[in-house]
A = this chain, B = another copy of it.
């Protein structure tokens, strides 16, 4: 609880609650944006998977992946983000695309 009389504490608590609600609204909006971009990203990786499958190309491309992670590290640095966190989240997204490419390669 905040310092001061109960009234001040209540006012402070109400202000904190309002502040938290405000931050959470931003987070919900940002999450909607993240998911919308993920939708477009998976639409693109689906096309890549179909192109690779039709051309008989391997679903995995280690050199491309190496370049992507190099780019993620650079972006994380420029935004002041934890490089490990960005690599973990982006790696997870890439893993889902790779899983889907392997399904497509098997004729899925």
Contacts and interface: CB of A to CB of B under 8 A. Distances in A.
Determine chain A's interface SS by DSSP, over half rule.
helix
A76 interface: yes
B90 A55 contact: no
Interface residues of A, number: 52
B13 A55 contact: yes
Q: Nearest 8 pairs between A and B by C-beta?
A: A39-B79, A35-B75, A30-B41, A85-B96, A23-B48, A26-B44, A16-B55, A23-B44
Interface of A: 1-2, 13, 16, 19-20, 23-24, 26-28, 30-42, 44-45, 47-48, 51-52, 54-57, 64, 68, 71-72, 75-76, 79-82, 85-86, 88-90, 92-93, 96
